[in-house]
Amino acid sequence: MQDVENIVNGQKLFLKEEYQEVFKNKQEFESNMGSVNPAKVEEIAEWTKSWDYREKNLSREAITVNPAKACQPLGAVMAALGFENTMPYVHGSHGCVSYFRTYFTRHFKEPTPCVSDSMSESSAVFGGLANMKDGLRNCNAMYKPEMIAVSTTCMAEVIGDDLNAFVAGAIQDAEGELDNTAVTYAHTPSFVGSHITGYDNMIKAILEQLNPPKSEKVLDEERINIIPGFEPYLGSLKEIKEIAASFGDKIFLIGDHEEQWNTGAGEYSIYAGGTTLETARTAINAKATVSLQKYSTMQTSKTIKNKWKQEYETCNPIGLSGTDAFVMKLAELSGKDISAELKMQRAQLVDAMQDSYPYMHGKKFAIYGDPDFLLGLVSFIVEMGGIPTHILCNNAPKKGWEADMQAIVDKSDWASECQIWPGKDLWHLRSLLFTEPVDFMIGNVYGKELYRDTNTPLIRIGFPIFDRHHLHRYSISGYKGGLNLLTWITNAILDQLDEETKDTGKTDYFFDSVR
């Protein structure tokens, strides 16, 4: 029973004797395996750690277990929220939107606006046009957006709804109500690619549909666009803007959701910050566009390169060399010198890397996450002398990514010990960790279960992270972001060292106050 002076919740309550008795009583009814046959459970558990299991596991073709990826419209919602006063609108069932909002809200601990037009059985039969007609009007009347960015779900895609015709029809049907609202739309079928594909499709759609045709382009030699990509780190967006500002005031982020998911206490407003629609509408005029995530902007790049005939560059400013390349690219494009401030930041980062390297040198890491995130992070690990033993990318693009990753790995003295695993999930990683263990894991919240199973410490960097607070507020890009990465990884290693040396009288001769 609870002690009123010391009320405990389930964490400790269920350890009390009477609840342990409840668990025991329940087992009688549970099953013919598992709980009533611990020996069998132990036997199978041991088998799942073996090379035999690994081979069977790695050869599976049809079932995905514990993946580290999400579906297209989720990325489209993030892309849409990077523009000012923009309401993401999902053409499909509201169930999907509830999931997207919940997923982002749990990561950012912020509200996530997004509407759907609540398609149901009748839409499956008759198509979703009626939903879109009502939906766009209602959305416009209630949330007064400047832009509504429409994406699709797998349902709308399977029934073959024609967005182009639907949007035009709905606008016409609204009798002028939608005339002052931009409505952009992208097809984002959930059965193609992943959330980064959806991000790409939505950015491409917004740029194509807001900008005038190429013939009306008015080239602005000083202007540079930066597309950040599917970026879960709000601090990274802020830092990229700071770096860009040091090269002039005509470098614009296209898709800037920093403020949307970082509003303060005091009052609530649906929209916050974002790329202005004016900036979005003139993107075609820029001299060049720099994408910070090559694989999150594959389709967008085609529009910019082929249709707009604009210079298109990709940089990945995670880690030292990635940031160097980004900074030099901006210097080249803007014709301006690298600022003293940036030079100092670089020097400080290198200084810090030299201070901490002994702890990362030769340590083995398993790293998983989105394709571009991995390119940056693995690059940083290699720069520090760490070994990226397992690099696992569930949503790795089929073309190019593996070669790009291999080129980074080849810079390592331990290149032959590094393995790249495209298209694999976290249940595959479990087998890899048991058979070829590493010292640390780097990735999102879903590595938590691998930590429990394999006892490999997890350093939480990636998306989503639900079980730690405020990490998304930091940067992982630029020199200052590099310092954050260094701090998190090094201190995780030191925490682990303390953990392993804390046994009084046994290991604590190495429990040093000076590291």
Partner 1 sequence: MSEMLEKLQLEAIKEVLEVYPEKAAKSRAKHLGVDSPEGVKGACDTTRSNKQTVPGVMSQRGCAYAGSKGVVWGPIKDMIHISHGPIGCGQYSRGGRRNYYTGATGIDTFGTMNFSTDFSEKDIVFGGDTRLKKALSEIDELFPLNNGISIQSECPIGLIGDDIQAVAKKHKAESSKPTIAVSCEGFRGVSQSLGHHLANDAIRDEVMTDTSARSSFESTPYDVSIIGDYNIGGDAWATRLLLEEMGLRVIAQWTGDATYKEMAIAPKSKLNLLHCYRSMNYISRHMEQEFEIPWMEYNFFGPSNTTASLRKIAEFFGGEIVANTEAVIAKYTKMTDEVIAKYKSKLEGKKVMLYIGGLRPRHVIGAYEDLGMEIIGTGYEFGHGDDYKRTKEDLSRSTLIYDDANEYELEQFVKKLRPDLVAAGVKEKYVFQKMGLPFRQMHSWDYSGPYHGYDAFAIFAKDMDLAMNSPVWSHTKAPWDKQEVGA
Q: How far is the CB of 470 from partner 1 (least distance, A)?
A: 13
18 is a contact residue toward partner 1 (CB under 8 A): yes
Q: Which of the residues 144 through 203 are near partner 1 (CB under 8 A)?
A: 153-155, 158-159, 177, 189-192, 194
The minimum distance between CB 312 and partner 1, in angstroms, equals: 27
Does position 95 interact with partner 1 (CB under 8 A)? The reply is yes
Cβ(182)–Cβ(146) below 8 Å: yes
Q: How many residues in the chain?
A: 515
DSSP E strand stretches across 82-181: 86-91, 115-116, 147-152
| Cα–Cα distance, 373 to 369 (Å, whole number) | 7
- Locate tokens 């690298």: which residue? 338
Q: Check binding of 48 to partner 1 (CB under 8 A).
A: yes
Measured from the CB atom, the residue of 180 and 354 that comes closer to partner 1 is 180
Among 179, 268, 455, 504, binds partner 1 (CB under 8 A): 268
Q: Which amino acid is at 359?
A: Y
Site for partner 1 in 409-448 (CB under 8 A): 427, 430, 446
Residue 114 bears catalytic tag: no
Closer residue to partner 1 (CB): 37 or 487: 37
List the beta strands (DSSP E) in 92-195. Answer: 115-116, 147-152, 182-185
The CA-CA-CA angle for residues 82, 80, 214, to 5°, reads 90
- Rounded to whole angstroms, the Cα distance separating 319 from 360 reads 14
List 120, 164, 306, 406, residue binding partner 1 (CB under 8 A): 120
Task: Return d(Cα 196, Cα 360) in angstroms, integer.
Answer: 30
Alpha-carbon Rg for the chain in angstroms: 25
Q: Which of 15, 51, 55, 142 binds partner 1 (CB under 8 A)?
A: 142
One-letter amino acid of 144: K
Backbone angles phi, psi at 149, to 5 degrees: -110, 105
Of residues 69 and 480, the one with the C-beta less far from partner 1: 69
Least Å distance, CB 84 to partner 1, is: 19
Half-sphere exposure of 98 (CA within 13 A, CB side): 4
Query: What residues from 208 to 267 belong to the interface with partner 1 (CB under 8 A)?
Result: 263-267
Contact 185, 76 (CB under 8 A): no
- Which is nearest to 364 in space by CA: 432, 460, 281, 265? 432
Helix or strand (DSSP H, E) at 422: strand 419-422
Taking the least distance from each CB to partner 1, the nearer of 2 and 487 is 2
Burial code (b: 16+ CB inside 10 Å, e: under 16) for 206-242 equals bbbbbbeeeeebeeeeebbbbbbbbbbbbbbbbbbbe
Query: Stretches 28-36, 219-227, 373-381, 470-478: which one binds partner 1 (CB under 8 A)?
Result: 28-36
The active-site residue, picked from 150, 154, 183, 382, is 154
Query: Closest separation between CB of residue 145 and partner 1, Å?
Result: 11
Q: Is residue 97 near partner 1 by the rule CB under 8 A?
A: yes
* CA angle centred on 372, ends 368 and 376, rounded to 5°: 80
User: Which of 17, 84, 126, 132 lies at the binding interface for partner 1 (CB under 8 A)?
Assistant: 132
Q: Cβ 509 to partner 1, closest distance in Å?
A: 36
Residues 448-467, mask of contacts with partner 1 (x by CB under 8 A): -x--xx--------------
Q: How far is the CB of 374 from partner 1 (least distance, A)?
A: 18
Cα–Cα distance for residue pair 163/182, rounded to 1 Å = 15
> Residue from 79, 82, 86, 116 that binds partner 1 (CB under 8 A)?
116
Kindly tell me which of 246 and 299 has the beta carbon lying closer to partner 1: 299
**350 token code pair:** 């290198």
Active site residue 183: no
Q: Total residues contacting partner 1 (rule CB under 8 A)?
A: 109
Footprint of partner 1 on 345-384 (CB under 8 A): none
**Cβ distance to partner 1 smaller for residue 192 or 350:** 192
Rounded CA separation 95/99 (Å): 6
By CB under 8 A, name the one of 80, 115, 167, 377 that touches partner 1: 115
Q: How far is CA 286 from CA 41, 204, 342, 492, in A?
A: 62, 16, 24, 43
Nearest distance in Å: CB 368, partner 1? 14
Taking the complex as a whole, how short is the minimal distance between the CB of residue 13 and partner 1, in angstroms?
6
Query: Does residue 137 belong to the site contacting partner 1 (CB under 8 A)?
Result: yes
340 binds partner 1 (CB under 8 A): no
Active site residues: 154, 158
